[in-house]
Amino acid sequence: MSKGTPSMGKKSGKKSHIMCRRCGGHTYHKRHKTCASCGYGNSSKLRSYSWKKNKA
Ligand SMILES: [Zn+2]
């Protein structure tokens, strides 16, 4: 058993994130039914946090 990046290889096959229909990213969680990027499925508003620096 090893921790860290090499162990990520065990995650292959099961894809938890699929294409998000709202933001188009590969960040929609299949089981959670939420998008990690825009929050689709979680809230009607776009997911945004103050700690996340927006380039605007
Ligand atoms: Zn999204």
Per-residue pLDDT, 42: 81
Q: How far is the CA of 34 from the centre of ligand 1 (A)?
A: 8
Percent of residues in the chain assigned helix, strand, coil, to nearest 5: 10, 10, 75
32: which strand partners?
none
Residues with CB under 5 A from ligand 1 (ion): 20, 22-23, 35, 37-38, 40
- Structural domains present in the chain: 16-45 (2.20.25.30)
Q: How far is the CA of 2 from the centre of ligand 1 (A)?
A: 32
Q: How far is the CA of 1 from the centre of ligand 1 (A)?
A: 33
Per-residue pLDDT, 56: 61
The pLDDT tens digits of the residues spanning 1-56 come to 666 667 666 777 789 999 999 999 999 999 999 999 998 988 778 888 788 876 66
Are 35 and 43 a contacting pair, CB within 8 Å?
no
